[in-house]
Amino acid sequence: MSSQLQLRNSYSSKVRAVKKKLPLEVYLLGAVSLFTDIASEMIYPLLPLFLTGVLGASTTVVGLVEGIAEATASLFKVVGGRVSDRIAARKPLLLFGYGFPALLRPMLALATAPWMVLAYRFLDRVGKGVRTAPRDALIAEVTPQETYGRAYGFHRAMDSLGATLGPLLAFLLLPLLDFRGVFWVSALPALLATALLLFLREKRGLARPLPPLRLSNFSPQYRWFLLVSGIYTLGLASNAFLILRLSDLGLSAAQSTLVYTLYNLLYALMAYPLGVLGDRVGARHLVLGGFALYALVYLGFGFSFAAWQGIALFMLYALYSAAFEGSSRAYLAQIIPAEEKASAIGFYHTLVGLLLLPASALFGFLWQQFDPQVAFFTAAGFAGLALVLFLLDPTRRQPYTC
C-alpha cells in the first residue's frame, strides 16, 4: 500500500507541475530564439545562391564556407559554457552571442567577394556557439526539474517556428528586394531578439576559478550519455540527404522544399506537447523513443519506393525531432552538476557538433559508393546500437557524483 501511495503522490506532483506556468525567462528566451531563427533562416537558404549566382563562387567554396561555419559553432559551444560557469553569469554571454551576429548583417549585405561571406559566417557561428550552453543552462536554472520537458519543448517549438517563418519571408521578399535587400531586412528581427534580452533578469553568482575540464569530474550517467550520444551521432545525417531522397522518389525541388517547410511546422507544433509528455513519463523515456523512432524512419527511407512514403516518413521524422531535441536537453540537465552546468552542456554540444562532420561524410560516402539503402540502413544501425546501450546504462543505479 505504501509503495502505491508513493507512486500516486509522485504522479500527482508531476501533474501539478505540468499545470504550472513556465517561468517568464523561458518565454522570453523562446521569443529571442523565434526572432533569431527568423533572421537566420531568411539568409541561410539564399546564401548558396548568392555565393554562386552573384559572387561567382564555386560549389567547393560553398561547402568550405558551411563546413567552417558549423565547425566553428561546435568548438565555441564548450568555450561559451566554460566562460559562463567561470563568471557565474549567463546574460553577458547571451547578449554577445545574439547581439554580435545581429550587428554583422551589413557585412553580408555589402559583401562583394566570397571571403566576406566566409568571414560573416565564421563570426556569426562564433556567436551561436557562445550563446548555446549559457542559454540552455539558464533555462534549467530557472525551471523546476519536473517541468524541464515543457521548458525545453517550448523553446524548441519557438525555435522551429522561426525556422519555418524565415524561409517563407525570404520567399516573399526576394522578388521585391533581391538578395542584398533581404539580408538588410533580416537585421530587424535579429536586433529585436537582442533588445528582448535587455529585459532578461538573472541571479548572478560569484565568479570563481574552475577545475580543469575533465570528464572524470562529471557524473557516470553524464559520461555514459556522452558515449551513447557519440555513437548515435555517427548515424546522424544532414537533412539535405533526406531532401535528396525525396528527389530520388520523384518530388521536384519545389515540392521537396514544401515538404521541408511542413517538417519545420510540424516540429514547431509538436515540440511543446511532447515536452509536456516528457515531464509526465520522464525525459529518459522520450530519449529512448527518439532513438527508436529515428532508427525506424531511416529504415523506412531505405525501403521506400514511392513519393508518398517519403513524405510520410519526413513527417514522422518531424515527430522524432520534436520529441528528441527537447527531451535530450531535459535529460542532460538532470544528470549534470549545478556548478558546472553550462560547461557540461557546452561539452555535449561540442562533441555532437564535431561528430556531425564525419557522420555526414560517412553517409555521403556510403550513398555514392554503394547505394542509398546502405547509407540509411547503416544510420539506423547506429541509432539501434545507441538505443541498446542507453537501455543497458550501467550507471543508473550508481550514486550521483560530481
In the DSSP assignment, the letter for residue 60 is H
pLDDT score of 7: 45
C-alpha cell of 184?
538588410
Location of C-alpha cell 560549389: 59
Helix axes 59-87, 114-142, angle to 10 degrees: 30
pLDDT score of 27: 94
Location of C-alpha cell 537533412: 239
Residue type, 382: F
**Cα gap 183→174, rounded to integer Å:** 10
Phi, psi of 211 (to 5 degrees): -65, 160
Helix axes 307-334, 253-281, angle to 10 degrees: 40
Rg (CA), the chain: 21
**Cα gap 55→113, rounded to integer Å:** 6
Domains of the chain as residue ranges with CATH = 22-201 (1.20.1250.20), 216-402 (1.20.1250.20)
Location of C-alpha cell 557524473: 219
Each residue of 312-339: pLDDT tens digit? 999 999 999 888 888 888 888 888 776 6
| Residues 85 and 140: beta-carbon distance below 8 Å | no
> H-type helices in 335-396, by residue range?
341-369, 372-391
| Residues 313 and 395: beta-carbon distance below 8 Å | no
**Cα gap 340→96, rounded to integer Å:** 20
C-alpha cell of 368?
555514392
Q: Report CA torsion sign: 306, 308, 314, 317.
A: negative
Helix axes 148-185, 253-281, angle to 10 degrees: 150
Low-confidence ranges of the chain (pLDDT < 70): 1-20, 59-60, 63, 67, 205-217, 240, 253-254, 257, 338-340, 397-402
**Cα gap 228→388, rounded to integer Å:** 9
**Cα gap 137→87, rounded to integer Å:** 14
In the DSSP assignment, the letter for residue 54 is I
- CA distances from residue 136 to 124, 140, 146, 178, 349 in whole angstroms, order as listed: 19, 6, 16, 36, 11
pLDDT score of 3: 47
pLDDT score of 390: 92
pLDDT score of 137: 85
| Residues 267 and 209: beta-carbon distance below 8 Å | no
- Residue 118 φ/ψ region, left for φ over 0, alpha for ψ in the -120 to 50 degree band, beta for the rest: alpha
